[in-house]
Amino acid sequence: MNAPTKIAAFAAALALVSGGAALAGGAVDPDRDTDQTAHATEDDPAMDTKAPHTESEQKHGGSSEAHPVRGLAVAENGLRIVVDDPELRRGERERLAFRIVDERGATIRDFDVEHEKRMHLIIARRDLTGFQHLHPQQGPDGTWTTDVTLPDAGSYRLFADFVRGDESHTLASDLRVDGEGDLRPLPAPQPTAVSDGGYDVRLDRDGSELRFAISRDGEAVETEPYLGAGGHLVALREGDMAFLHVHPNDDGVSFEAELPTEGRYRLFLQFKHEGRVHTVAFTQEVR
């Protein structure tokens, strides 16, 4: 979990959505110790990481090495995500329900604990705004449910990220919110950004290493453990919204990742301080 993972080239990106992407700010009930949501801000550079993956990933076919990018399809390796109702009302708190099923359509009930949770649910609008990281609850019939509020109209991408039998999976599906979506351009790359809680964050990139320095009122901040690490990073590629794996290092808030293709990426960093989870986002460009 502390070794860099080389991400190989993969399927060509889909057409860019109205030429752009951006990020919505502010956290909605930042994922305290009770599974709540965390939104990203409108600032720049950072890559979402799913907290460190276990060593078992390197022993089994589901490792990030075997699957450098994920979230491009609803089905993978005999598993499929089924969303009960992908149509949501704008600005309304609604119950989102989904299941993971096998090739026969039977609902899967057994999942491994990874990064302290059995299911990680990521939602982002097609222009890379409105980022949320949720931890749904599983019912006796295997259905996962969580309350979600999507304030803006448009098309969203849902990512169910989980481990089963020591094999990692990220399955994706679409959500639609009524009304016309006002797509925002992706912010230009910047070395610094402000989190939804008013923290100043700087991103320094050295090769495949992404290192974040967090401060508030000019004073350095030492983050608290969040999902088993000093921070959690998720990276989404502009256009096809490919979900990239990032591996945290053991020291501070730093991660090992290699952006695989030319293009722009939106990085979502989440960290915990004073008992609350904060989110900040960055744009990174590869030429």
Tell me how far apart the alpha carbons of residues 274 and 222 are, in angstroms, rounded to a whole number: 10
Q: What is the CATH number of the domain that holds 72?
A: 2.60.40.10
Collect all residues with Cβ–Cβ distance below 8 Å to 241 and sequence separation of at least 6.
71, 124, 126, 128, 157, 172
Q: Is residue 4 part of a domain?
A: no
**Total of domains in the chain:** 2
Q: Is residue 67 part of a domain?
A: yes
Tell me how far apart the alpha carbons of residues 36 and 147 are, in angstroms, rounded to a whole number: 9
With beta carbons less than 8 A apart as the criterion, state whether 249 and 229 touch: no
Q: Is 217 exposed, middle or buried (0-12, 13-18, 19+ CB in 10 A)?
A: exposed
Q: Is residue 239 part of a domain?
A: yes
Q: Is residue 12 part of a domain?
A: no
Last residue of a domain, one of 154, 177, 200: 177
Q: Is residue 222 part of a domain?
A: yes
Residues 147 and 205 in one domain: no
Token digits of residue 270: 């989440």
Domain region containing 103:
55-177
Residues 61 and 132 in one domain: yes
Strand ranges across the sheet with 232-237: 69-70, 243-244, 232-237, 263-273, 276-286
Residues 65 and 167 in one domain: yes
Tell me how far apart the alpha carbons of residues 243 and 263 are, in angstroms, rounded to a whole number: 14
Last residue of a domain, one of 130, 150, 177: 177
Last residue of a domain, one of 177, 209, 228: 177
Residues 129 and 160 in one domain: yes
Residues 65 and 111 in one domain: yes
With beta carbons less than 8 A apart as the criterion, state whether 229 and 7 touch: no
Residues 137 and 211 in one domain: no
Residues 274 and 216 in one domain: yes
Q: Is residue 140 part of a domain?
A: yes
Residues 126 and 173 in one domain: yes
Residues 242 and 173 in one domain: no
pLDDT, one tens digit for every residue, the chain (287 residues): 433 333 333 333 333 333 333 333 333 333 433 333 333 333 333 333 333 333 333 333 333 344 467 778 999 899 999 999 999 999 999 999 999 999 999 999 999 998 889 999 999 999 999 999 999 999 999 999 999 999 999 999 999 999 999 999 999 999 999 988 788 999 999 999 999 999 999 999 888 889 999 999 999 999 999 988 899 999 999 999 999 867 788 878 999 877 778 889 999 999 999 999 999 999 999 88
